Chain A
Amino acid sequence: MKKFSFLLAIVMIMTLVLSACAPQATPEPTEEPQVEEPEEVEEPEEVEEPEEVVAPFDGVTINFWHVYSDQQKEDLHALVDEFNQTNEYGIVVQPFDQGNYGDIEDKFNAGIQSGDLPDVVQAYTNALADWYSVDSIVDLTPYIEDAEYGLTGEQLSDLYPHLRTAGTTPDGAWVAYPLTQSANVLVYNFTWAEELGFDAPPATADELREQVCAAAAANTELGGDFAGTGGLVYYPSATNWLHFLYSFGGNELNADGTAYDFTSQEAIDTTMFINDMKAEGCVWQTESYPNPEQGQRKALITMSSTAGLPYYEAAFEDANNDDEWGFIAAPGPDGQLAVNAFQQMLGVVPSTEDQQMASWLFIKWLTSPENQAQWVKVGGYYGTQYTTEALLADHAAENPVWATGVQLAAVGPSEPQTFPAWSSVRRTINDSAAELYNATTEEEVLAVLETLTQTANELVEEVQ
């Protein structure tokens, strides 16, 4: 009896402790309200007050997973609040920050198994394409082209040309819609270049070589810590190599776009261009991100995401360097400009037709030029439409470095993230980038590119 009483006491204490810890206002899990709320709200209204005009999608609740934290999260949630208060459809959006892109992918993958998925998800394009292939993301085409709720022809042509391709799978499904853009660009020191005798950023690959070699020579003359620095800081990675490949007019696919092919003459020329500059001492590497080196005039040009702007500002400030600097695109041999553009993509998860249309309406509102401009101002990214640029004129005047990237946002292109196995292929390019950087002849380069092509196409076969 005593034993029983003792056990009972322990159980009661545990129960009390655990109950006391229960949250007072724990929000509902993401999935449950989606299905239950519309039914509960809509039915009595339709029966009891038939004369009232019920807004389409009234009571539809949309769960939105995004990656923003800190101030960006607060600003995005403020925008969502505005949508909730002003949208004429009666849609309610609940935003949830879910960590970084990797966290969202983990969570979404687990949610595919359990059914706990949002309605709108922010993710990398390749993740959205992968989820589309397992029926967990919808093709947005019917919603975008919907006569009543879709985009007009004018609105569609306002979108930067490369963005439709970037979000569309090879079979033509538009699975990823861009919220904003960032890009891998060249960070260029205008003031130093001018002192070196160059009045304008390089317009061709040869001019780029001339400028970085002049900077390297200037620093070699200085000696000390500056010896061996000064030119282009190039880290051999998929992002950086592809950036130059685009400027040389190349891409990752064969002529008819049906398979990976990295053996083009453009790919060989790109690699040799970088390696020749390295051989001349005009290209060098830093141990970590090259922001401090650029701030200290140890690099005329570095490569970075436009989202890295605050880190460069900090580096220039720390080095007490007042030089004028900004973003430029990589120039090709014939003057073709290119950046490696990345988008912050949104996808819609399959549910009911109303839910999906409501999700699209929210995306449409959020990415409309006015709201996009508002979000760009706080988020630090770039727009996806020509009209947004015009709305950001004042912001550009106040932020001259950021402004240098505005024109580049439309340049593109983007990596073929919706092409099968792109994530794995990209990792293989990363692995091959160092080999390419160390190759000294065209034959060596071609051998690496042939292996890369073969591996890439084998990876495609594995997923198909």
Chain B
Amino acid sequence: MAKKGHREKRIKFSTQRNIFTYAILIFGVIISLVPFVWMISTSLMNLGEALGTAFFPSEIHFENYAEAWRRADFTEYFVNSILITLITLVGQLTFSILAAYAFARMEFPGRDLIFSIMLSTMMIPAMVFTIPNFLTVTWLGRISPINWINNWPALTIPFMGSVFSIFMLKQFFAQVPDELYDAAQIDGAGHIRFLTQVVLPLSKAPLMVILVLSFIGTWNSLAWPMLVTNTPDWRPISVGLMSFVTEAGQEINLTMAGAFITILPILVIYFFTQKQFTESIARSGLKG
């Protein structure tokens, strides 16, 4: 009888705890979703309504999306963003993988010192690099056969060397057991083959994280592209969003329609990689 009472108490306590947990989680979900819902809702309002305090549109204006696309010239910017992102991702993955592998599994003089110096640059705010990076790409543009300013090199090459990506991959590569390398060596494999056929297949999760984070960073970048471009030829999609911001104010409904168009590719990428992404976040202990 006492046992039954104790079990009932435990079930009751467990149920209460679950209700409490779910309540907090639901609250968190609502807090996270409100800005997103607000963005979609505002994107469907007319300007007058969007300037007010209404949360939902009294009348749906799907035409805002067409107007935002046309006025912001998203067709051109979209293609630019895809090219810039692809080039950056390919370069960043290539250089990060090779550098991380070298730091994790190869012995060379000054390895730890170089890695420490590289890590210390993560502590410097990104804005501090703006002018030095600009001067560097300007100088490189003057001595190289193709223009850097107003062209893809200035928009992509400075971001191909990512300290964060190298650091993250190095941590994963270092965890690969030495026995695997020994076995690969017995089979006649060198570093490149071991990297491509053993290490990389085991590191899908961190690679996905880098892919998603770099994609988001590159896709959303605005200040740097504005600095190194003079014409729309290579400007990314985030510049298009600026079309709706004027000296006097913002066409908030069109800005939100444009913002939704802009984040669609990020949502698609995240949809396809969320399993590896969350798995990798869990394994690496990274927190948002």
What string of 1s and 0s marks CB contacts (under 8 Å) between A95-131 and chain B?
Answer: 0101111010011011001111000000000000000
Let me know if A202 is at the binding interface, CB within 8 A.
no
Q: Which B residues are in CB contact (< 8 Å) with A17? A: 87, 90
With CB as the reference atom, state the residue of chain B lying closest to A311.
B249
Cα A67 to Cα B230 with chains together (Å): 12
Q: Which of B117-125, B127-135, B171-179 contacts A (4 or more CB under 8 A)?
A: B127-135
Cα A317 to Cα B227 with chains together (Å): 39
Cα A287 to Cα B52 with chains together (Å): 10
User: Could you tell me how many residues of chain B have their Cβ less than 8 Å away from some Cβ of chain A?
Assistant: 47
- Restricting to B36-76, which residues have a CB under 8 Å from any CB of A? 46-49, 51-53, 71-72
Let me know if A224 is at the binding interface, CB within 8 A.
no
Let me know if A18 is at the binding interface, CB within 8 A.
yes
Q: Which of B103-111, B239-247, B259-267 contacts A (4 or more CB under 8 A)?
A: B239-247
Let me know if A147 is at the binding interface, CB within 8 A.
no
Let me know if A255 is at the binding interface, CB within 8 A.
no
Q: Which of A154-162, A256-264, A288-296 contacts B (4 or more CB under 8 A)?
A: A288-296
Let me know if B138 is at the binding interface, CB within 8 A.
yes
Q: With A314-B48, A314-B51 known to touch, is A308 a contact of B249 (CB < 8 Å)? A: yes
Let me know if B19 is at the binding interface, CB within 8 A.
no
When the two chains form the complex, which single residue of B190, B193, B242, B249 contacts A69, counting CB atoms closer than 8 Å?
B242
Cα A180 to Cα B73 with chains together (Å): 27
With CB as the reference atom, state the residue of chain A lying closest to B248.
A307
Q: Which B residues are in CB contact (< 8 Å) with A7? A: 192
- Restricting to B223-247, which residues have a CB under 8 Å from any CB of A? 223, 226-227, 230-231, 233-234, 239, 242-247
Q: Which of A26-34, A213-221, A397-405 contacts B (4 or more CB under 8 A)?
A: A26-34
Q: With A3-B192, A106-B223, A314-B48 known to touch, is A305 a contact of B247 (CB < 8 Å)? A: yes
Let me know if A134 is at the binding interface, CB within 8 A.
no
Let me know if A153 is at the binding interface, CB within 8 A.
no
Would you call A27 and B226 a contact (CB within 8 A)? Answer: no
* A-B pair number, CB within 8 angstroms: 131
Would you call B71 and A70 a contact (CB within 8 A)? Answer: yes
When the two chains form the complex, which single residue of A26, A29, A69, A287 contacts B243, counting CB atoms closer than 8 Å?
A69
With CB as the reference atom, state the residue of chain B lying closest to A309.
B248
Cα A128 to Cα B78 with chains together (Å): 34
With CB as the reference atom, state the residue of chain B lying closest to A305.
B248
With CB as the reference atom, state the residue of chain A lying closest to B138.
A114
Q: Which A residues are in CB contact (< 8 Å) with B72? A: 70
Would you call B141 and A29 a contact (CB within 8 A)? Answer: yes
B79 to chain A, nearest CB (A): 11
Q: Which of B6-14, B143-151, B203-211, B273-281 contacts A (4 or more CB under 8 A)?
A: B143-151
Q: Report which residue of A27, A30, A115, A316 has the largest number of chain B beta carbons within 10 angstroms of its beta carbon.
A: A27
With CB as the reference atom, state the residue of chain B lying closest to A26.
B151
Let me know if A50 is at the binding interface, CB within 8 A.
no
Would you call A100 and B245 a contact (CB within 8 A)? Answer: yes
Cα A25 to Cα B230 with chains together (Å): 14
Would you call A107 and B131 a contact (CB within 8 A)? Answer: no
Q: With A311-B249, A314-B51 known to touch, is A110 a contact of B227 (CB < 8 Å)? A: yes
When the two chains form the complex, which single residue of A30, A101, A115, A318 contacts B46, counting CB atoms closer than 8 Å?
A318
With CB as the reference atom, state the residue of chain A lying closest to B240.
A69
Let me know if A310 is at the binding interface, CB within 8 A.
yes
When the two chains form the complex, which single residue of B52, B149, B152 contacts A116, counting CB atoms closer than 8 Å?
B149
Let me know if B185 is at the binding interface, CB within 8 A.
no
Would you call A30 and B230 a contact (CB within 8 A)? Answer: yes
- Restricting to A274-304, which residues have a CB under 8 Å from any CB of B? 287-289, 291-292, 295
Q: Which A residues are in CB contact (< 8 Å) with B99? A: none
What string of 1s and 0s marks CB contacts (under 8 Å) between A1-44 and chain B?
Answer: 00100110010001001100111011111100000000000000
Would you call B230 and A27 a contact (CB within 8 A)? Answer: yes
B202 to chain A, nearest CB (A): 20
Let me know if B102 is at the binding interface, CB within 8 A.
no
When the two chains form the complex, which single residue of B138, B149, B242 contacts A99, counting CB atoms closer than 8 Å?
B242
Let me know if A315 is at the binding interface, CB within 8 A.
yes
With CB as the reference atom, state the residue of chain B lying closest to A292.
B52
Q: Which B residues are in CB contact (< 8 Å) with A311? A: 47, 51, 248-249
Would you call B230 and A96 a contact (CB within 8 A)? Answer: yes
Would you call B87 and A18 a contact (CB within 8 A)? Answer: yes
B59 to chain A, nearest CB (A): 11
Cα A107 to Cα B94 with chains together (Å): 31
With CB as the reference atom, state the residue of chain A lying closest to B133.
A110
Would you call B227 and A289 a contact (CB within 8 A)? Answer: no
Let me know if A182 is at the binding interface, CB within 8 A.
yes
Let me know if B216 is at the binding interface, CB within 8 A.
no
Let me know if A434 is at the binding interface, CB within 8 A.
no
Let me know if B200 is at the binding interface, CB within 8 A.
no
Let me know if B83 is at the binding interface, CB within 8 A.
yes
When the two chains form the complex, which single residue of B52, B139, B230 contacts A29, counting CB atoms closer than 8 Å?
B230
Q: With A18-B87, A21-B83 known to touch, is A295 a contact of B245 (CB < 8 Å)? A: no
Would you call B192 and A113 a contact (CB within 8 A)? Answer: no
When the two chains form the complex, which single residue of A6, A305, A317 contacts B48, counting CB atoms closer than 8 Å?
A317
Q: Which B residues are in CB contact (< 8 Å) with A54? A: none
With CB as the reference atom, state the residue of chain B lying closest to A101.
B247
Cα A100 to Cα B116 with chains together (Å): 39
Cα A54 to Cα B247 with chains together (Å): 42
Q: With A21-B152, A23-B151, A114-B134 known to touch, is A96 a contact of B231 (CB < 8 Å)? A: yes
Cα A98 to Cα B243 with chains together (Å): 11
Would you call A21 and B131 a contact (CB within 8 A)? Answer: no
With CB as the reference atom, state the residue of chain B lying closest to A96.
B230
Q: Report which residue of B141, B147, B247 has the largest number of chain A beta carbons within 10 angstroms of its beta carbon.
A: B247
Q: Which A residues are in CB contact (< 8 Å) with B243? A: 69-70
- Restricting to A134-166, which residues have a CB under 8 Å from any CB of B? none
B89 to chain A, nearest CB (A): 11
With CB as the reference atom, state the residue of chain B lying closest to A10.
B94
- Restricting to A388-424, which residues have a CB under 8 Å from any CB of B? none
Q: With A21-B152, A29-B147, A110-B134 known to touch, is A14 a contact of B90 (CB < 8 Å)? A: yes
Q: Which B residues are in CB contact (< 8 Å) with A103? A: 223, 226-227
- What are 27 of the A-B contact pairs (CB < 8 Å)? A3-B193, A18-B152, A21-B152, A22-B151, A23-B152, A25-B233, A27-B230, A29-B141, A29-B149, A69-B242, A70-B71, A99-B239, A100-B242, A110-B131, A114-B139, A289-B51, A291-B51, A307-B246, A307-B249, A310-B248, A314-B47, A315-B48, A315-B51, A315-B52, A316-B48, A318-B46, A318-B51
A-B interface, 3 closest residue pairs, ranked by CB to CB distance from nearest? A318-B48, A307-B248, A314-B48
Excluding A29-B149, A295-B48, 9 further A-B contacts by CB distance (< 8 Å) are A14-B94, A27-B150, A27-B233, A30-B149, A106-B130, A110-B135, A182-B248, A308-B249, A314-B51
Give B contacts to A, CB under 8 Å: 46-49, 51-53, 71-72, 83, 86-87, 90-91, 94, 130-131, 134-135, 138-139, 141, 146-147, 149-152, 190, 192-193, 223, 226-227, 230-231, 233-234, 239, 242-249
